[in-house]
Structure 1
Amino acid sequence: MKKTFALFLLKCVLLILPFLALLGLYFYDDPFEVLNEYKTYYKSPVAVNEGYVGWQHYRMQRDSLKYNSFLLGNSCTMAFQIKDWERYIPGGRAIRLYGSAERLGNIYRKVKALDAIQDSIANVLILVDYATLKQTQITNMSTQVLHPEVTGQSNWEFQMCFLQTFFNPDFCVAYVDYRIFGQYRRYMKGVINSGVVERNCITNDVFNPREKEIADCGEAYWEKHKKEFPARDTVEKIAPPIIMKKQLDMLAEMRDVFVKHGTNCKILINPRYNQVRLNPEDVKQLQEIFGEGNVFDFSGINEYTSDIHNYYEKGHYRPLLGRKMLEVMYGNK
């Protein structure tokens, strides 16, 4: 009987050892950079939560740098370098607070958090599109979960999002493989960063490495990456209406925050490569809330979306287009 029980215990120990080893690796490496506070982030090879890291940069430096201007939206915000924006907002001290596949629910909660923390919100530039406006709920996905300071979520709940992701086989296998061999493999996409991305921890700017590739290759870049640019026709496509009561309530609350702070707020509707135009009714709703002169619709078929040279690939446009749109929005002031 004792021998059987001892054998059972041995089997249990052998079963749990891999789990304990992985748990130890997680706490030792801190692959998502959420267990500890760092002076600079993005040292991990893992694709971290951009929204969390951006908010950490803001949180650690807001007292010393006195931020008063905020760039909000999805990854398309990388087309707007803070130094370019600050040219149009005298006295503005800006930071980019974006999130991967950012949703309206996230932007709304960031605005509410800024209202509670900031004495001054002088300028806000918000990038939206159909996908952004569609989502009003927040998510606990490790790549999109918001900073606890924004949501009021307990640190335990926040940390569990990342621990669960780490033990997901798709993530864990790729991470351990890379940890042992230090070699990026194609199946690791979405888990391990395939290259080094240059960032600015003061402004939270990101500099897409494809910009250098374009400088090196010239026109050949778009031929080399032509599979990333699906063919388009000349028939304009219009997205169905997406702004409903929930969106209206959130947008109106954000507007009230900006009125309270005397904020110069601009809403930019992204010039997506697919040239699908945001529904005119949605544009009208945004104009009624934020003011017609503060909403700029660059979606659809136009001079900005027609030029393939404005894009890295179908999902992201370049800073040269960002500068053109800043001139349209602020140039006449």
Structure 2
Amino acid sequence: MKFTFKQLIIRLLIFGSPIWFLIISYIVFDPFHVIYSYDAYGSNFLKTYNRNRISTETFLRNNPKYKFSSFIFGSSRSSAFLTKDWSTFIKDPSPYHFDAFNDNISGIAGKIKFIEKQGNKISNAILVVDNDTFNESFEKSESIVHLKDYRWEDSTNVFQYHLTFFKSFFKKQYFISFFDLKIFKTFRPYMDEFFKFKYYYTSPSNDFLFPENIELLKKDSLAYYKNDWFPYKPENPKMYEEAIKEHHLKDLRLIADTFESNQTNFKIIIAPLYDQRVFNVNDRALLEKYFGKENVFDYSGKNEFTNYLGNYYEGSHFKPVVGRKIMEQIYQ
């Protein structure tokens, strides 16, 4: 039996309707918030939102008004350094938090280049670093949480960027969880892979907050610190192995040169991690070589911050109370 072209199109539309529905739904709902521009991102989910995108978009939307000149860089661990706290030390009413999940040194360098392209002067800066800052684990991955924004990452193709997010909508039935949660407003155990902890993103400063963790702490702090978010750590943790490799030096040089040309008042903070492992001494020496010993502050290992469990939300993130105390020390 032969079909006319019109009949063929009709059949394709009928039998392909479920696929068309999903495609249209993806465009309409923008589940990963990467198609459209948003005034604010509010409370979102760690496993489905890309912090690089949020940081870049929030910067671009607010920069014309605020002309940001003070920036906090790093991974989500930099969240402990709140812009409202930092503002009092640098006398800038509008600092900006330009971080990303698991951001590494190339991501930080890329953001600094992007800021300069927008015509902004970098007057003040904080770089929060740790061993993972020199890790490329997510560099070539298609993780939608870690994908770098195509607007400042030269090697990223805009079509490939959006295609990665689109494909993720169908991976492991993500869309089923998405519509289930959207329609019934009920979290179910099977959604855990996609929707876990809620976080909050402020605007215009783009700070990264932990409201759900704070709520759990208020409810029962004793129970909170007994859960498995806090892994075992040995009594005498080993020093980290060298993490800074030859190919990282160009990014360190770019950042150092940019700070020099901008006459930036900057601080390099080696994070006080829960594991209490000491940042490698050779890596610290390299940071001191590029940025000056007087600008590098090492809070790794055992110290007043890492000795107290109550300073942490879990094994990866320390609290703003630690960030405030560190800023008090380094700006005195």
What TM-score, normalized by structure 1, do the two folds share?
Answer: 0.89
Question: 1:208 maps to which residue?
Answer: 210
Distance in structure 2 (CA, Å) of the matches to 1:93 and 1:203? 7
Counterparts of 2:105 and 2:68, CA distance in 1: 22
1:133-191 CA-to-partner distances (Å, cap 9, x unmatched) read 12294655321222232124453232212111112134223223223332112232352
Offset of 1:219 from its aligned partner? 4.5
- Rounded Cα–Cα distance in structure 2 between residues aligned with 1:96 and 1:245: 28
CA distance in 2: counterparts of 1:68 and 1:190, whole angstroms: 38
Q: Choose from 157, 161, 164 the match for 1:161.
A: 164
Provide, for residues 6-52 of structure 1, a one-character-per-residue CA deviation record: whole Å limited to 9, x for no partner. Answer: 99988865653221111011011111112111222247667311121
Give the aligned residue type for 2:145.
T
Match of 2:144 among 137, 142, 160: 142
1:176 corresponds to: 179
Whose relative contact order is higher, 1 or 2, with alpha carbons under 8 Å and at least 6 apart? Answer: 2
Alpha-carbon distance in structure 1 between the residues aligned to 2:76 and 2:329: 21
CA distance in 2, matches of 1:230, 1:142: 26
d(CA) in 1 for partners of 2:17 and 2:33? 24
Gaps of 5+ in 1: none
1:284, CA displacement in angstroms? 0.6
SS of aligned partner of 1:175: helix
Q: Report if the CA contact (8 A) 2:141-2:147 is conserved.
A: yes
SS at match of 2:267: strand
The residue identity in structure 1 corresponding to 2:39 is K
**Helix, strand or coil for the counterpart of 1:87?**
helix
Amino acid at match of 2:169: F
Distance 2:10 2:114 in 1: 51
- Residue 25 of structure 1 aligns to which amino acid in structure 2? S
1:24 and 2:24 equivalent? yes
| Alignment partners' CA distance in 2, 1:21 and 1:38 | 24
Q: Which position in structure 2 is the counterpart of 1:293?
A: 294
Indicate how the Cα distance of structure 1 residues 42 and 161 shifts in structure 2: closer, same or farther if over 3 A, else same: farther
Give the total of aligned pairs.
Answer: 327
Q: CA deviation at 1:98?
A: 1.0
- Work out the CA distance in 1 between the residues paired with 2:173 and 2:73: 31
Matched, 1:124 2:125: yes
- Given that 1:237 and 1:300 are in contact with CA atoms closer than 8 Å, whether structure 2 keeps it comes out as no
Q: Once the two structures are aligned, what percentage of the paired residues are identical?
A: 27
- Which whole-Å deviations, capped at 9, do the CAs of 1:186-221 have from their partners, x for residues lacking one? 2323523544x4432111113312224334434453
Give the conservation status (yes or no) of the 8 Å contact 1:42–1:48.
no
Q: Deviations over 1:45-70 (max 9, x none)?
A: 67311121121111111121121001
Rounded to whole Å, the distance in 2 between the matches of 1:2 and 1:149 is: 49
How far residue 130 of structure 1 moved from its aligned partner, in angstroms, is 1.0
User: In structure 1, how many angstroms separate the alpha carbons of the residues matched to 2:173 and 2:292?
Assistant: 46
Tell me if the contact between 1:236 and 1:301 (Cα under 8 Å) persists in the aligned partners.
no
Q: Does 1:267 align with 2:268?
A: yes
Aligned to 2:81: 80
Q: Output the CA distance in 2 between the equivalents of 1:132 and 1:44.
A: 24
1:32, 1:44 within 8 Å by CA — same for their partners in 2? no
